[in-house]
Amino acid sequence: MASLGGLLLAGGCNAETIDDQRISTPDDRAVVDPTPAPRDFIGQNARHRILVAVVDSGVDYNHPLLSQNMHFSLDAAGTPVALGRDFLGDDAWPTPYVARTSRYDERLSEKERAESMAAWSTASRLAKAFPGMARFYHPSRNVKQELSRGVNHGTHVAGLMVYDRPDIGLLAYRMYPLNRFPPKAAEPSEDRLVTIARSISDAVEAAVGDGARVINMSLGLDGDTPEKQEMLRVLAKRLRKTVLRHPRVLFVVSAGNSKTWLDGSTRTRYPCGIDASNMLCVGALRPNGDLAAFSNIPLSGVDVVFTLGEDVLSTVPTGICSEAPTGVLEKENPSDDELRALAEAAEAQCGRSYFLERMSGTSMAAPIVSHMAAEILIEDPDRIAAEVIREIYRRSTRSFIGAYPVFKLSIKQPSWYALERRPGDENEGAERDALTDDASGSARDRPAARQPGTWEAYLTR
């Protein structure tokens, strides 16, 4: 199989492959695509004044802190029939969960199927002995892949797009981690970069067709060879045409976490490197307003803004307990005591959890900007995307990173921070004040003399 060629979630996770979701059985699919929890679906949709879309690793649409934002497609009776698109499972339910299809995938070796079946048997023992653990370790799910492939990324990003705004409706489109086997439509010799780029374009068209005005893509394609770099440039031109066909839609993308300058020539990243009037690239700041150490800095003339991207608290899937040690699930015939220890640890760590976690990355910064963009469009729905970008600049602080002038956007902290109180957070208030008032950066970031007119050039683009 061809190399993935550098598909990265901007939060720092490689989009490695997972069991092929397209071949999941109806029983397995019922587990990984749960029924939407009851709510006033019709009234909820009516309250949404703007629709935003997240192209990512799937979203937990039953998360209590996100449920009011989910904009389901409804049938005549008001029953949900879709929430965007799952390009991995080829269905309308883009959840983050992974069906364990490796136990019956005939394309795999007998050894691989046997190992998967053994893990299925262990999870079945656990769920039978401790029924409450099926929530986290259902045998139909490949929990090992869920934990190692960063599938909680999409739900974390989604939360930052809609927090504290029940009038923002969310659509979701799952396109990674990638299925182990490429789509049938792909040529056998086709590089996975081409397949990925096609999926991104398909997700964009689907989101626009479903009514999204802001599309967040916290992902990036990096070419690790000159040949792949050239391939990416060709693919970026195609995506640029797709983006420019929809001037009323704002595309918000992450700058990436390689700690480097992106000059658009020797160092590139896509889609952040695409120069389009309705695309905004986002870099990351620390809570005190300084540049985050991991953040890339785009220099190629594309629209860029920086905002909080370090140690950001947001939602994660309610069916994944990432704190408990799960190695026992991969052991051959673990003891009852070992299974009990896992169940007790999971209950202690996740049984009463709000399912909020802190993450860092430009992946976290981008949806914060998407949130601001949605608020601007609610105020004035007639704005085109380029006007929204200029308004974001107007609401930002002018600053410098080295000699490079930048815009730094301050935010209002999500109310769910009140649900988390960590030991040693005595300086939390000071950090919040720095974040929400002056995020201009430290003195060492500033040159001796300013360069007047640079920001105005952005504002009048």
Active-site amino acid positions: 56, 153, 363
Helix axes 192-209, 226-244, angle to 10 degrees: 10
Cβ neighbours for 27, distance < 8 A, ≥ 6 positions apart: 140
Is 457 exposed, middle or buried, given 0-12, 13-18 or 19+ CB atoms closer than 10 A?
exposed
Sequence letter at residue 11? G
Nearest to 5 by CA among 254, 178, 222, 235: 222
Nearest to 232 by CA among 185, 268, 279: 268
How far is the first Cα of the chain from the last one, in angstroms, to the nearest whole number?
A: 44
- Is the torsion defined by CA of 75, 77, 80, 83 positive or negative? positive
For residue 271, whether the previous peptide bond is cis, meaning omega lies within 30 degrees of 0, is: yes
